[in-house]
Structure 1
Amino acid sequence: MQKNRRSPVLACAALMFTLALAGCGNMSKVDERGESGTLAWPDIKQATRAGGSYPDPAHLAMVKAGMSKYQLYDLLGPPHFHEGMLMVREWDYLFHLRTPTGDQLCQYKVLFDRNRVVAGVHWRTPSCAAAAKDAPRAAIEDGMPAAAGAARHA
């Protein structure tokens, strides 16, 4: 009988631990609409994918408000920092974007609303936003097809 009393307590403790870990990816205090007054950016040295990845420019251009996490995952792959899927309102990526002067390392953030759909995307610097806008043209000029398939990883 003693064992049966512990079982609900252990299950509750495990659930609370899981929920606590699920929220570890929320650095920017994202509200239920998927907005944040101040964006917090992770240290690039903490990326789970050291060095980031080379996203397919066509896939990057397809990201838009209203997409689910699963649709985003299909386009860009998993987030590059310690984000999860449950109760997380932001994903961060570390991308290399091709520019006329060479590759540029950029941080990209996706914010989700309470329904877990994309509410907005942000580049850490204006130069990365400009490079992303020009990425399809730069990829073609560099000899890489604009829709080369899944994101290439470094």
Structure 2
Amino acid sequence: MSTFHNTAVRTLIMSCAGLLLAACGTLSQVDDQGHSAEPKFPAVSESYRPQGSYVNLENLANVQPGMSKAQLYELLGAPHFHEGLFGVREWDYILRFRRAGQADRVCQYKVLFDKDMKAQSFLFSPADCLDPLKPLATSVINQGKE
């Protein structure tokens, strides 16, 4: 093989290895059960979608432990940060909630996955994100059950 070919192959292998290592990392230390003692939320400025998205409250109410990534994707859409490609154990979102006569409520939402890639933990920042929305959220969820 030529020197050029060897160098190109080595460069490709090193690049792929770097991408795979970066893709396997997580911001929080997630245990095999899908929990973290110290969950960390990424800076909003690091998002490819810092404006966030308006989430359907009924979809958010349907999120539950044991869901697959595909099921979460159907309910919430794609995560808003470059989470990686393989072995990703957390997804992060920036969610916006409309409030009548007030500015939108903006929160971060984190989903942590267990070793089998099933969603187990669901966290907000700020932790009380949904408190001001409870009357609205309750009415939206109850409308769907009538």
For the pair 1:94 / 2:94, whether they are aligned, the reply is yes
Alignment identity in percent? 36
For the pair 1:21 / 2:30, whether they are aligned, the reply is no
Q: Is the 8 A contact 2:89 2:117 kept in 1?
A: yes
Q: How does 1:103-142 map to 2 (within 5 A)?
A: 103-131=104-132, 133-137=134-138
Q: Is the 8 A contact 1:65 1:119 kept in 2?
A: yes
RMSD of Structure 2 on Structure 1 (CA): 2.7
Residue 80 of structure 2 aligns with which residue? Answer: 80
Matched pairs, number: 140
* CA 1:54–1:139: 2 relative to 1, 3 Å: farther
Residue ranges of structure 1 left out of the alignment (5+ in a row): 147-154
Q: CA deviation at 1:131?
A: 4.2
Q: Is the 8 A contact 1:106 1:128 kept in 2?
A: yes
Residue ranges of structure 2 left out of the alignment (5+ in a row): none
Q: Is the 8 A contact 2:52 2:94 kept in 1?
A: yes
Q: CA deviation at 1:32?
A: 1.3
CA distance in 2, matches of 1:137, 1:100: 15
Q: CA deviation at 1:85?
A: 4.3
Letter in structure 2 aligned against 1:17: G
Residue 150 of structure 1 aligns with which residue? Answer: none
TM-score normalised by the chain length of structure 2: 0.79
The 3-state SS of whatever aligns with 1:16 is helix
